[in-house]
Structure formats: structure tokens, C-alpha cells
Amino acid sequence: MLNPDLVGRTFTSADSIAVTKEAVQKFAEVIGETNFEIAPPTFAISITLEQSQSLLQDSGLNWTRVVHGDQKFEIKRPIVAGDVFYCASTIESARNVAGNEIVTVRSDLNSATELVVSTWSTLVVRA
């Protein structure tokens, strides 16, 4: 059970994350994308996943019973190799529906000057 006191609180990564050309290319190649100049639309998840996962685990969520419910991206501009981000993750909501816990976590990728991509992941913890 997720600690309800943590809903609304934002955790920002202490370390910046640099996007490499290799990381963009590796992700692109899996989906058959041949343009490596900009990252594919869902690439942000490869940056935000680790932090949102550890935030939720640290908040008491049972990761072994988690199912990904839905996902959303808002892309202000495409991610490119050379970008350096700080990731800010917020548990936006946590509710209980028929014994299943439904948690939405938002992760923002911020460069030094701008918000570049926001992601929302809704996770269902099966009862």
C-alpha cells in the first residue's frame, strides 16, 4: 500500500542525465526508425522509468504486482542527443478501486532552461 502522505510531493533527481547519440540510436533501431537526429516519441520513458520506479517502490508500492495501465507523453520539443535533463517525478494520485490500487506518476524532463517532455504513467497494483 502506497503511503498516501507522498501524493503530491515532487522528487527531483540529484544527478543530471545526459542523452547520448548511442542511446537514441539503440532505441530507434528497435522500432525500425532510421532517423537518429531526434529521439522517437516514447524515448523519454527510458530516462524516466528508473526514477519513477524507485520513487514508487520507496513509497511502499508492491512492484511485483504492478501492471501498466496507461501512458501519456507531452513533447514540447523532440529530445536530441546532447540534451541534459533533470527528472522531476510526482505521484499525482493514488486511489483504490475494487481492491486494486491505481497510481498515477508524472515525470518531467527539464533542461537547464525549459521543460522538454512530461510523461504520465498510470500503474495498477493488482489486489
Q: How far is the CB of 96 from another protein (least distance, A)?
A: 19
**Residues near another protein, by CB under 8 A:** 23, 26-27, 29-33, 35, 38, 40-42, 45-46, 49-50, 64, 67-75, 78, 120
Which residue, 27 or 85, is less far from another protein as judged by CB?
Answer: 27
Of residues 59, 48, 65, the one with CA closest to residue 94? 59
Q: How far is the CB of 5 from another protein (least distance, A)?
A: 28
Q: How far is the CB of 43 from another protein (least distance, A)?
A: 8
Which residue, 40 or 100, is less far from another protein as judged by CB?
Answer: 40
Helices (H), 12-116: 21-30, 45-58
CB 60 within 8 A of CB 2: yes
Q: How far is the CB of 66 from another protein (least distance, A)?
A: 9
Write out the H or E segment, with its range, that includes residue 106: strand 100-110
Which residue, 3 or 16, is less far from another protein as judged by CB?
Answer: 16
Query: Could you give the C-alpha distances from 124 to 54, 55, 57, 64, 108, in angstroms and in order?
Result: 16, 15, 13, 11, 21
Backbone angles phi, psi at 29, to 5 degrees: -65, -35
Which residue, 9 or 21, is less far from another protein as judged by CB?
Answer: 21
